[in-house]
Amino acid sequence: MSEIGFRDSHALDHEDPLAYLRERFEIPKMPDGQDTIYLCSNSLGLMPRAVVSDIQQVLADWAQRGVQGHHSGVQPWLPYHHQFASPLATLVGANASEVVVMNTLTVNLHLMMTSFYRPHDARKKILIERGAFSSDRYAVMSQIACHGLRPADVLIEVAPRPGEDTLRRDDVIDVIERQGSTLALILLPGVQYLTGQCLDIRELTRAGHRHGAKVGWDLAHAVGNVPLSLHDDGPDFAVWCHYKYLCAGPGAVAGCFVHERHAEDTSLPRLAGWWGQEERHRFEMLPSFQPTAGADGWQLSNPPILSLAPLIASLDAFGAAGMSALRRKSLALTGFLRARLETRLGDRIQIVTPSDSAEHGCQLSLRIRSTPAGRRVQEALGSAGVIGDWREPDILRLAPAPLYNRFADIDRAVTILEHVLTPNE
Ligand SMILES: *Cc1c(COP(=O)(O)O)cnc(C)c1O
């Protein structure tokens, strides 16, 4: 067991240089007014308190200025989305022109596949993982159908080995090498939503590119969770949402990365809209479309300002802390959780998430082996104030977030889980 498992949680909280950030967030309460132990940021991050005033600012400008709010006010709406490019680029390791905030994740995935999944001749296949998140899978299947192809002919799914839960990098590289020049696109998750496994973006991207495939990443569970270096790792595109670790609220406007090498490529087919039109010509209403260079050129509509507002506070919190300090605390928190689970619960649970720090983020996925089985564990935890989430048939996901979780939260959560899993005498 790692050193940290022997430490006192209150001492760890006392030493935590990021402890001050918790104050910036609303922590959901139990009926008796106590803070819940919120371990569900993999699903929905908590609300930064400053969101209220940021939204009120938009409402006030709208009320007082009407259409003039596009050009005047504290934060005029026309350039509103530009404020996110730089902090977001820092967070994902990209240039500002490579990222854009727009739409929602699945919509962006479709936009990206329209440009980067271009099956032709012998190169028609698309490689995903067998356990892909449903929406990604549906998006892929429907893109295949839109090209008049059949998933049975062109969809390749990599899977963990029999009896294993997570993918082996070399197995994925093997499949890429065997499929070689038949691969049109590789689409994989940065962090797998169910197992919490972190994949090697750089190595897998390079393997795909060596064989001439385009490579895209779904970073829904990776952004704000693990350090990313998209520009250097070099994928063609990436998509993610902002309501999980990024704390920008339910259904928040999502993010998208397009590598610089495609910035000026007007030969790429794309679904176009006026917000992707070169900015200085946007209001000239020209009959022909000239995309803005960079990721901005994939925008369709004028952005939903009210829904963008919550991103300000959340990116502020990430900027204040810095991703490397957050990652340091995250590894400590998750390491502490793992150590406590192993000592207190032993083989009543199996931790599915890889233990190597390069292969996991905040989340640990536990397979529950003992009674009471199934979803009842999750319900019992919920009534004791521990908010995790349950995935059928037997996985409990617990994700301590370095922005606001404390080591003491983990101590209590494990005590409660132990209690829940201990059969009544
Ligand atoms: C959360 C998540 C989604 C959700 O898609 P939306 O379009 O935001 O509803 C899609 N894919 C993955 C991998 C996710 O984790």
For residues 118-137, give the mean pLDDT. 97
CB 123 within 8 A of CB 183: yes
Q: List pLDDT tens digits, range 341-381.
A: 999 998 889 999 999 999 999 999 999 886 556 678 888 89
- 80 is known as an active-site residue: no
| Pair (356, 381) in one structural domain | yes
Q: List pLDDT tens digits, range 7-44.
A: 899 999 999 999 999 999 999 999 999 999 999 999 99
Per-residue tokens: 186: 């590789």
Structure confidence at residue 424 (pLDDT) = 67
For residues 127-143, give the mean pLDDT. 97
Per-residue tokens: 158: 């990599």
- Least confident interval from 93-102, 130-139, 283-292, 397-406: 283-292
Q: Concatenated DSSP letters for 384-406?
A: TTEE-EEETTTEEEEB--TTT--
| Pair (198, 261) in one structural domain | yes
Domain final residue pick, 265, 291, 317: 317
Ligand 1: centre distance to CA 348 (Å): 31
| Pair (212, 355) in one structural domain | no
Q: Which atom of ligand 1 is nearest to the CA of 251?
A: 8
- Would you say the CB of residue 43 lies under 6 angstroms from ligand 1? no
Q: Concatenated DSSP letters for 238-307?
A: EEE-SSSTT---TT---EEEE-GGGTT-TTS-----GGGB-GGGGGGT-SS--BPSSGGGG--S---HHH
The pTM assigned to this predicted structure is 0.97
Share of the chain above pLDDT 90, in %: 89
What is the number of other CB atoms lying within 10 angstroms of the CB of residue 346?
8
Ligand 1: centre distance to CA 419 (Å): 33
Structure confidence at residue 371 (pLDDT) = 58
Number of alpha carbons in the 13 Å side-chain half-sphere of residue 226: 26
Structure confidence at residue 261 (pLDDT) = 97
Cα separation of 272 and 254, whole Å? Answer: 18
Read off the CATH number of the domain in which 339 is found.
3.90.1150.10
For residues 112-134, give the mean pLDDT. 97
> For residue 87, is the peptide bond before it cis, meaning its omega torsion is within 30 degrees of 0?
no
Structure confidence at residue 359 (pLDDT) = 98
Point out which residues pair with 230 in neighbouring strands: none
Which residue in 165, 218, 236, 296 is the catalytic one?
A: 218
| Pair (70, 141) in one structural domain | yes
Domain final residue pick, 298, 317, 336: 317
**Kind plus residue range of the DSSP H or E element containing 375:** helix 375-383
The better pLDDT of the pair 170, 2 is held by 170
Backbone angles phi, psi at 153, to 5 degrees: -90, -30
Residue 41 lies in a domain: no
- Would you say the CB of residue 133 lies under 6 angstroms from ligand 1? yes
Distances (CA, A) of 287 to 62, 145, 205, 239: 31, 30, 38, 30
Structure confidence at residue 2 (pLDDT) = 65
Residue 151, burial from CB neighbour count under 10 angstroms (0-12, 13-18, 19+):
middle
| Pair (272, 159) in one structural domain | yes
| Pair (329, 294) in one structural domain | no
- Least confident interval from 54-58, 155-159, 369-373, 404-408: 369-373
- 38 is known as an active-site residue: no
Whether 125 has a pLDDT exceeding 90, the answer reads: yes
For residues 155-176, give the mean pLDDT. 97
Domain final residue pick, 294, 317, 340: 317
Cα separation of 58 and 70, whole Å? Answer: 11
For residues 402-418, give the mean pLDDT. 96
Structure confidence at residue 369 (pLDDT) = 81
Structure confidence at residue 6 (pLDDT) = 82
Please, what sign has the CA dihedral across residues 238, 240, 245, 249?
positive
Read off the CATH number of the domain in which 78 is found.
3.40.640.10
Name, in order, each residue with C-beta under 8 angstroms of 47's C-beta and a sequence gap of 6 or more: 25, 26, 247, 249, 310
Q: Concatenated DSSP letters for 142-161?
A: HHHHHTT--HHHHEEEE-PP
Q: List pLDDT tens digits, range 263-307.
A: 999 889 999 999 999 988 888 888 999 999 999 999 999 999 999
Number of domains in the chain: 2
